[in-house]
Amino acid sequence: MLEFPLWRKLLLWGVTLFFALAALPTIFGQGHIRWPDALPNPTVNLGLDLAGGSHILLEADPSQVAATRLENMEESVRNAMRNADPRINIGDVSTRGGRLSFMVQDVSDVDRAREELLPIINGTGTVREWDLEVVDQTRFVLTQTAQGADQAVSSAMESATEVVRKRIDLLGTREPTIIRQGDDRIVVQVPGLEDPEALKELLGQTAQLEFKLVDYEALPTEVQAGIAPPGSEIFPFAEGSEQPGGQIAVRRLGGISGENLIGADLGFDPETNEAVVNIEFDGEGGRRFAKLSSENIGRQFAIILDDQVISAPVFESAIIGGSARISGGQNGFSTEEASNLAIQLESGSLPVDLAIVEERTVGPDLGADSIRKGMLAILIGSVAVIALMIASYGRFGVYATAALVFNVAMILGIMAIMNSTLTLPGLAGFVLTIGAAVDANVLINERIREERKRGRRVIAAVETGYKEASRAIYDANITNFIAGALLLGFGSGPVRGFAIVLIVGLATSVFTAVFLTRMWVAGWLRKARPTDIVL
């Protein structure tokens, strides 16, 4: 009991002071004293319910996913028939009624066409994504299966959730909550966000970027009337572009989409100093962009963002190297617009439009009131516990009190280093773990008291007390730790916040109650050599 080597003392004090010092920026940040910028600044973030912030519920339209799949299938079918050896000639492709149909011009190519289509319609998973039917001997009809449609929606929502997460992370916000709700909804909560409109604008854009060739054969009168020639489609010019209010016809297939983008960042035109977005394609995208531009020098192409043309420049030369620049057209981008667009492109386009169906701004007043009441409860409870511990256990109660203070500091310090978020349930977990720390000291002191009543000497009673009580403390905390780990693994949002505080608090309460107080008690026993103790 009295043997406490120097290395163990240094280790215990080192761990304690390291985590306690890490709590200082958080403690200073809650007051009016500014933490020096030159020092490390790990802090505990406050959740939406404590710091206030924005809550947004996004909803996708499954029918849009189906329409996108139909369009992609059309391009896949055309490529498959075009790349067949020898080529399989087909007539016009129809997507009417949500089904894709086309006719093979030579009846002898029907079997070959079926063989070309089978790998496409079966997909890569276990779910059959399309049903294939041949009617009137030469007409193929492809219909999306219900299982395939459900899988596509689920996949699109997973991708959309990840894109939303990347966009918010690029904003520099801390610990947002982004979770799926049901089949087609995403809940977004961003604590401390002072400008919810910026969040809505950032998440409300799909950021679907396309480069498509302009159709010169389209008649201007028909384009303005919204009538697109076969194989083309019409897009409006965006507000602020060179032709606001106008429309333009572009080739529906054969362009380049933004799926090959690997980077986008804010830049400035060296001549005009206007904000622009610099984009960079991967190897495949760079080759396709170079091919498209080199084969169409002198032709106009459209830069389409979310179904609106933001610019329609001319390929003056081949664009080689996979880099390009997007300007804001006639009026140019503001720095904020260009920055948001760069974030949207950098994080990838949303695979499906997300509509905002619910939005709430949580004010910080409620959270401040919760913090104030929580801190008051902790203060009153701590004072009462400290008074009771000292009155009941004397010197050992003082040790327990000091351990309690270090326990609180270590919890804050560890959470600050982990950059964790403290929510209202987390605050409850905080109080709960403080209670657990007090329980551990009560168990130890009561066990020592029992050993003294049995007639053991002071040192033997203290040693046996710590040894026997520690087993009960370990058992109790292990079961609580398992519960906390399950909450952390299967919970979400505030439940995970509670679990993190609980797990951290259990570890620090055992450390301070069992190891730290034992070191202090051993030091006092060695120095004072008492013949009796007051318990």
Q: Judge whether residue 220 has pLDDT over 60.
A: yes
Confidence of residue 489 (pLDDT cuts 50, 70, 90): confident
What is the predicted pLDDT for the residue at 173?
A: 63
pLDDT confidence of residue 328 = 63
Mean pLDDT of 215-236: 79
Q: What is the 3-state secondary structure (H, E, C) of 151-215?
A: HHHHHHHHHHHHHHHHHHHHCCCCCCEEEEECCCEEEEEEECCCCHHHHHHHHHCCCCEEEEEEC
Query: Which residue has tokens 């280093």?
Result: 417
For residue 317, give both structure tokens: 């030369």
Q: What is the pLDDT of residue 241?
A: 65
What are the start-end ranges of the E strands in 339-441? 354-362, 421-422
Amino acid identity for residue 494 in this structure:
P
Structural element, H or E, at residue 375: helix 364-393
Q: Is 380 exposed, middle or buried (0-12, 13-18, 19+ CB in 10 A)?
A: exposed
Q: Which of 223, 293, 299, 213 is nearest to 254 (CA)?
A: 213
Please count the residues of the chain: 535
pLDDT in tens, 331-351: 667 787 777 777 777 777 777
DSSP 265-332: EEEE-TTT--EEEEEEE-HHHHHHHHHHHHHTTT-BEEEEETTEEEE--B--S---SSEEEE--TTT-
pLDDT at 194: 65
Q: Which two tokens stand for residue 435?
A: 């209670």
- Other beta carbons within 10 Å of 384: 10
pLDDT digits over 141-186, tens only? 999 888 888 888 888 888 888 888 877 877 666 567 788 888 889 8
Measured CA to CA, the distance from residue 435 to residue 382 in angstroms comes to 9
- Is the pLDDT assigned to residue 87 strictly greater than 60? yes
- The β-bridge partners of 140 are 102, 134
Alpha-carbon gap, residue 152 to 65, rounded angstroms: 7
Q: How far apart are CA 315 and CA 196, in angstroms?
A: 39
d(CA 516, CA 535): 19
Please name the residue that has the structure tokens 């219909």: 143
pLDDT digits (tens, 9 = 90+) for 503-516: 999 999 999 988 99
